[in-house]
Structure 1
Amino acid sequence: MTITELQALDALARVEAKRFPIHREALVALRKEQGRRFIGIVGPRGVGKTVILKQLAMETDRSFYGSIDTFKDITLFEFAKVLFEKQGIRTLLLDEIHFLPGFDGELKKIFDFLPDVHVVFTSSVALALQQSAFDLSRRVRLIRLLPFSFREYVRFKEGVTLTRLTLDAVGHGKWTPEHMRYGYLFDEYLKGGLYPFSLTEPDPLSVLRSILDTVLQRDIPNVAKVTYQEVDLIRKALTFIGRSTVDGVNPTTIARNLGITRYKAVEYVDLLSKAFILIQVDPEGTNVLREPKILVQIPYRLLYRSWDDAIGAVREDFFATAMNMADMPFRYLKSTTGRKTPDFWLTTESGDWVVEIGGPGKGRTQFKGVRVERKMVLAHDADSRRNAKPLFMAGYLA
């Protein structure tokens, strides 16, 4: 594709950006970082990374938007050099950079030899950046763009901006009637509403199924050293995880089910985690087997099990997703018998919390190697459970 054709696509991108007048909060964070030479926007497919790049193109002087899959006949460095020298372009906005072979080397050349050129790029696979042959971490400011938090979903769905809550506020019941009012949207959120395309797509799960196919067939093979035969095994591993109970999934059971080594099972789980499909949660406590709990980013589990059958696991998936969105470190707790529980350990400035997802309180002595001082129960049906807090309140932490 010629430079003239690429410029035509850049102009079209700016026109398309006008279709999205409401901006995600991540765009505000990006604006604050624009003095940096290199910024990477990393997040799952379908969360609006392309839209944000186009919005940046519309409001950034001397910028150029381009999708990496259109760069065929010229290297990225040469393209940046031509745009800078002939048109004064100082900001490149590059979509899905992990599809460009040797992108890290091209970025390093821009960094070293075009000091006045800034680059903002997106990637749907964190692994692409982590496996860079060059040390991009010193040069690139990475910003995560995740799906809507429940609070952000309410803003886009109802046009209402609610304040963030702290974990302590949730634990002590210190929220406003406005926070309670939108609980009726929670199930819709869990079923796919967290993805921006759900605002216009009546069946978000069908879109998500297509996204998953792209992740498995294009993204992972493009950045990881896996064969297409292994891609089929990764798909089978995900199917096994999606259909199993949370407590029944670990690298050993995955390996046994697929007929592969435990080492390979760990590798596949890591790949799916770095592609934003799975969430691995480490255990808290002493004398416990350091085996992660494997959860699924909502609502991918619903591609494998019905809502009624999966709801218990989906609640845990939601909590893990919400904690990641709030950038809050958390661990799961094991019982004294070694069983994985739906209880999670979090640390705040005011002290530690144990948060139980779902059922009634189980007391303070069930955990292996952990002494519990403060505990809250987050329940889907909080009204019917004494002292329980609404689970959706965790969605207001981000």
Structure 2
Amino acid sequence: MDFQYDPRTSGLIENLLDFMDGHIYPNERAFEEQVNSLENIWAWDSAPLLKKVREEARGRGLWNLFLPGQQGAGLTNLQYAPLAEITGRSGALAPAALNCAAPDTGNMEVLHQFGTEAQKEKWLEPLLDGRIRSAFAMTEPDVASSDATNIQLSIVRDGDSYVINGRKWWITGAMNPNCRIFIVMGKTDPGAARHRQQSMILVPRDTPGLEVKRGMHVLGYDDHDHGGHAELSFTDVRVPVENLIGEEGAGFAIAQARLGPGRIHHCMRSIGVAERAIELMCARASSRVAFGRPIADQGVVRDWIAESRVRIEQLRLLVLKTAWLMDTVGNKGAHSEIQAIKIATPATVQWILDKAIQVHGAGGLSQDFPLAAMYAGVRTLRFADGPDEVHKNALAKAELRRHQAGRKGA
């Protein structure tokens, strides 16, 4: 792969860095204050400041950068990688400002790839325009959802409708009243082959029987500036058959198609989190004096800073290689690398954040710095889109198969 960015990517990087310096970093605290002062704190996207920075982003051509093709910016994964990294430095504001925030990005990709023309017109277009929000409802409280085939929510055909019953939780963005549509995964045929039992269906928020029960907390944070993470119940929820995405039994395959790009986008943004953490760590170490000399002069602190830089550079190379493979051989061909970055990124960034917090002392645990919230978010990624252990197990099995095939061919 070529390590030099092409002219378009270089131009977008320069544009985005200028946008971040002029409109994101100076407004982070004000955005937080605006969201906290809203009558409904879950409606984070109604903050006036977000509307202002979104208009600026659109005017600069920094809009829907994540989505390939004519409806998006037409970027490859490799082109998008450095841009996602930059937005990750300000996770609460920057991705939303560019309409590149999860879970909407993944849901737009699903509708773009698998939706009917009617589904695209009704739901994809307003999502691409930033007028509504969405959620992806897969995880359930009563089963180990790390194995997606365990999903128990039922989707039963009844004439011209599907009837849905079950529970979901940790549904990101669902507390936001502007979350108008849910992509819901459930079972349409429990007797089918293991990976053909599941389907995906669109459920509008105002459908009778769909209830948002409560918001979930992440290490004490309610994540209201992302629309929260909700527990949902579905009681005889009835939607028309045309709300099915794809065909019956295609839910597992659609989920895998959605999660591949979602995993690498999380990793891209997380590298930006780590870069921000190093900046904060260096600034704090240089400005604080303990036992008669700056903390930056302490050997252990310098070791942390050096290790952080080495780990980030290693991680970035692996993520860029994965993005390049996804572009050249497809998501399936890059499957092992996607698993590898999903394993490595959250753990590595978590380590860097831990050292940055340590350098900040008690301040690192407080609301005066973004490090504690960053730590909670990155720790969550060791569960989101599949826990570490599932990815490690699958990666090891693939490695063993490759090794055994090599021995047979020797």
Alignment TM-score, normalising by the size of structure 2? 0.24
Alignment TM-score, normalising by the size of structure 1? 0.25
